[in-house]
Amino acid sequence: MRNTMRWLIISGLAVTLTIPLIKAQLPGKKKLEMATFAGGCFWCMQPPFENLNGVLEVYAGYTGGTGQSPNYGDYAQKGYLEAVRITYDPAKISYQELLDVFWRQIDPTDPGGQFVDRGPQYRSAIFYENEEQKRLAEKSKEELGKSGRYGKPLVTDILKAASFYKAEAYHQDYAKKNPSNYHAYRDHSGRDQFLRKIWGDPHSPKNAPAPNAEHRKYSKEELKKMLTPIQYQVTQENGTETPFHNEYWNNERAGIYVDIVSGDPLFSSLDKFDSGTGWPSFTKPLEPQNIAERTDGSLSMLRTEVRGRRSGSHLGHVFDDGPPPTGLRYCMNSAALRFIPREDLEKSGYGKYERLFKR
């Protein structure tokens, strides 16, 4: 199993498409330039650059290794790093400005990877295209190191640009294609918490002290974009999905179930049972601290509602008619959950739960 703690699940079948070195040659008379940065998970490195005025394209890919045509299955073994290659118009945005954005996305003091993603394929690096980029990168790193912002040396490599191979199509613009998974990954990777601690809240005055890291609170509009209609109805409007016609009611695979909004671990397949109700049911939560219970008097009944503690999402209800050993039935809505199969726990950022299935 690859040494990665990546949070997100890549679902479905992906067709591998590797594309050799991307050239800076684009149609038109503008003088365009390239910038290549490695900052751990390339899903997280595309969005910060894509909306900058003067940036034309941002590709996720692999660089800095040996051998031809790396792909997601072998790039680490070939010594490649996950990186992004940026095509930009220097008349509108400078390389120094791109460097400033880059430093605000990473932990430049970590030699062993970035946040939960461990291994040399996730280390940070700047790949310079020419001597001027090299000079600016070295100066920028030196000044940032002298600022004392981190309290320890910066280890980000500054290397000569090498062949860059575009990653598979399902990796491109992952944040746009899979917003709920992407935001859940960022929230649990530790990246955003670290950046707020070092740089302050992006919505506060520059460099203002950051609050303690908490789950991001999404707006109503953001949630509607992140969630399917049934997921939104269940989690945000206290809805109930149709029994026997939902995703996990008869799921028998080994793995864990997490909050669809926050990504917090909630239940394990080891505690799942067939309640005959048509909804996924569990005898106990995997992490009790991740749920909150409250009295629900709706529908002329007195029930105990279960909500995600950090997300605030409606998950379902708990009843006292379950089997031993607890005698409880946590009756959940599939639409409030996301299932992480046992074989994907490590790469999805839940490696510590693998031990549950090795008994």
Say which DSSP state 3 is in.
Answer: S
Which residues 6+ apart lie within 8 Å of 173 measured at CB?
46, 50
Amino acid at 259: D
Contact 337, 260 (CB under 8 A): yes
Is 44 catalytic? The answer is no
Enter the tokens of residue 358. Answer: 């090795």
Catalytic residue among 5, 34, 35, 41: 41
Contact 117, 40 (CB under 8 A): yes
Enter the tokens of residue 257. Answer: 């179930």
Enter the tokens of residue 252. Answer: 């028998």
Cis peptide before 325 (omega within 30 of 0): yes
Buried b (16+ CB within 10 A) or exposed e, 214-245: ebeebeeeebeebbeebbbbbbbeebbbeeee
Say which DSSP state 168 is in.
Answer: P
Catalytic residue among 44, 167, 328, 331: 331
d(CA 43, CA 83): 9
329 CA to centre of own chain = 31
d(CA 222, CA 131): 43
Contact 354, 341 (CB under 8 A): no
Residues identified as active-site: 41, 331
